[in-house]
Amino acid sequence: MHSRSPASRTGRPRSAAADAAILAATREALVDLGWSKLTLGDVATRAGVAKTTLYRRWAGKNELVVDAVAELFDALELPDRGSLAADIEGVVLQFAAILALPEAKSGLMAVVAEATRDDALRERVRASVVDRQKRLVLEGRARAQARGELPPEPDPGAAARTADLIFDMVAGAVVHRTLVSGQPVDEEWVRGFTQVLLRGLTAQSTRPVAG
Amino acid sequence: MHSRSPASRTGRPRSAAADAAILAATREALVDLGWSKLTLGDVATRAGVAKTTLYRRWAGKNELVVDAVAELFDALELPDRGSLAADIEGVVLQFAAILALPEAKSGLMAVVAEATRDDALRERVRASVVDRQKRLVLEGRARAQARGELPPEPDPGAAARTADLIFDMVAGAVVHRTLVSGQPVDEEWVRGFTQVLLRGLTAQSTRPVAG
DNA sequence: GGCTTTCGCTACGAGTCGTAGCGTAATGCC
DNA sequence: GGCATTACGCTACGACTCGTAGCGAAAGCC
């Protein structure tokens, strides 16, 4: 999006160290102050840069926090644990661990709330945060279909809709549990969740999913 | 919580009309301005009351918006549609319709974000908004167990955990679909969601749930 | 009428916002 | 080395919002 695709234009280049310091300072301020009391002036002071430098790179608080929080989700991976249930449990626990961080808690939902009235911000969140999570769903699903644990979906449209549905169910449940209910996503909860997701509510809840 | 449980103490009583006007003005301001640009001064002007009156009744923006948004969820009901699947679909569509309102969209998530750092606010959200939704889960579940559609759960502890799980899955998926993915919760999506919730991902997605 | 509480209004200091202006620093090109 | 160009740090600024204090008037109960 930025017009610096060519190797580097003339003039003094932007300091990459400043970028990293600003984003780290933003997360630190999120922990100390939370979203509402976070000010760009304070972030600039913490990062050791001038306030004007912040405004030269980010349009405002929303965009800055999106970038700061997005980095937290870089750690998400999908290790092969042998079964779909184990894969889901592993990824959900990872996701929940990130969401439980105070810098993610206070920043992410606030930005999502702002994004309901700002299409550009919503797109930024989608590209920086959501798509990175959704990719795990696509990979895990393909892996499970290759294992024969999930029925194949030849129609690409239906496959995309199902992937979106799974993504909203998984991410939504974890986010709701963490931020709205305020309860921990521990192993017991994850087992129950995976059970329902794979077998449904109508199954006996004590029957193991791997059968 | 307020110390006005006795019929009415001495002195001039608070105007109930002012309360209603303020909450309505808050929702109106949420639609026009969104959470971040909403100011209590503006709400007071819209409601035709003095700014000081607002501060006498609510501690701040957070508490005011919680009360304003909570009223939107009064309309939630659980009509008996004959089967668990139909009950779920009906309630989810109701919930989604409320969440799609701009005053709910912009306000609810912002308040939840703030509640991650404010235990009193979290409790207020729980009592005003969340419990009202969770009650529907409890009723619907009991009804389905009476019908024989869900296995009974004799252990009260396990029953409570399962109810919490269902609630986080239902509400979380709808909220995530609406606010994060930014996609509509239409009948097609609700059918797919109910299918997965009741039968699980491993079931053939085209097989009807009612068998 | 007297007591108590609420209401509308005005005014205020404190804090934040986002920007403008200026001199300096760092790079690419010649 | 010199020049153009861009980024940086710093200061200052008007505009806005916040939450509160103080006042006189209004609306109830005894």
Q: Which of A117, A166, A28, A70 is nearest to B31 (CA)?
A: A117
Q: What's the length of chain A? A: 211
Helix (H/G/I), strand (E/B), else coil: B118:
coil
The predicted structure's pLDDT at residue A204: 65
Residue A5: pLDDT above 90?
no
Across the interface, whether the CB atoms of B199 and A196 are under 8 A apart is answered no
pLDDT digits (tens, 9 = 90+) for B138-190: 999 999 999 999 999 999 999 999 999 999 999 999 999 999 999 999 999 99
Q: Are residues B165 and B105 in the same domain?
A: yes
Distance from CA(B12) to C1'(D27), angstroms, rounded: 5
Q: Are residues B191 and B121 in the same domain?
A: yes
Whether B3 is covered by a domain: the verdict is: no
Partners of residue A117 in chain B, C-beta under 8 Å: 34, 102, 105-106
The values of phi and psi at residue A49, to 5°, are: -125, 170
Q: Which of A115, A192, A200 sits opposite B161 (nearest CB)?
A: A192
Q: How far is residue A183 CA from its own chain's centroid?
A: 19
Q: Are residues A44 and A119 in the same domain?
A: no
Q: How far is residue B113 CA from its own chain's centroid?
A: 15
The predicted structure's pLDDT at residue B7: 47
Amino acid of residue B159? A
Q: Are residues B44 and B145 in the same domain?
A: no
The predicted structure's pLDDT at residue B182: 94
Picking from A3-17, A105-119, B133-147, which range would have the lowest pLDDT averaged per residue? A3-17
Query: Residues B176, A175: contact at Cβ < 8 Å?
Result: yes
The values of phi and psi at residue B15, to 5°, are: -75, 120
A vs B: CB pairs below 8 A: 184
Distance (Å) of CA B171 to CA A8, A145, A150, B155, B178: 48, 28, 25, 24, 11
- Rounded CA separation A207/A201 (Å): 12
Select from B32, B57, B82 the last residue of a domain: B57
Residue A72: pLDDT above 60?
yes
Sign, CA torsion B105/B110/B111/B116: positive
A119 → chain B, closest CA residue? B182
Specify the higher pLDDT residue, B110 or A206.
Answer: B110
Across the interface, whether the CB atoms of A150 and B199 are under 8 A apart is answered no
Residue B181: half-sphere exposure toward Cβ, Cα within 13 Å:
24
pLDDT above 70 covers a percentage of chain A that reads 92
Q: Are residues A37 and A110 in the same domain?
A: no
Specify the higher pLDDT residue, A10 or B173.
Answer: B173
The predicted structure's pLDDT at residue A9: 75
- Rounded CA separation B198/A198 (Å): 10
Whether A165 is covered by a domain: the verdict is: yes
Q: Cα distance from A148 to chain B (closest Cα, Å)?
A: 10
Distance from CA(B36) to C1'(C14), angstroms, rounded: 20
Whether B7 is covered by a domain: the verdict is: no
Picking from A45-54, A164-173, B122-131, B196-205, which range would have the lowest pLDDT averaged per residue? B196-205
B54 CB neighbour count, 10 Å cutoff: 21
The predicted structure's pLDDT at residue B1: 41
Question: What is the CATH number for A167?
Answer: 1.10.357.10
Specify the higher pLDDT residue, A9 or A164.
Answer: A164
Q: Are residues B162 and B78 in the same domain?
A: yes
Whether A181 is covered by a domain: the verdict is: yes
The predicted structure's pLDDT at residue A2: 40
Residue B45: pLDDT above 70?
yes
**What single-letter DSSP state applies at residue B14?**
P
Q: Cα distance from B157 to chain A (closest Cα, Å)?
A: 13
Q: Are residues B121 and B32 in the same domain?
A: no
Confidence bin at B9 (pLDDT 50/70/90)? confident
What is the average pLDDT across B104-115? 94
Q: Are residues A27 and A92 in the same domain?
A: no
Whether B123 is covered by a domain: the verdict is: yes
Q: How many domains does chain A have?
A: 2
Residue A76: half-sphere exposure toward Cβ, Cα within 13 Å:
28
Q: Are residues B139 and B175 in the same domain?
A: yes
Q: Are residues A104 and A136 in the same domain?
A: yes
Whether B148 is covered by a domain: the verdict is: yes
Whether A153 is covered by a domain: the verdict is: yes
Q: Are residues B53 and B80 in the same domain?
A: no
Helix (H/G/I), strand (E/B), else coil: A59:
coil
Question: What is the CATH number for B49?
Answer: 1.10.10.60
Collect all residues with Cβ–Cβ distance below 8 Å to A103 and sequence separation of at least 6: A27, A28, A30, A31, A68, A69, A72
Q: Are residues B170 and B85 in the same domain?
A: yes
Whether B5 is covered by a domain: the verdict is: no
Query: Residues B165, A169: contact at Cβ < 8 Å?
Result: no
Determine the Cα angle at B173 with ends A134 and A90, to 5°: 50
Q: Residue B41: give the domain boundaries.
A: 16-57
What is the average pLDDT across B107-121? 94
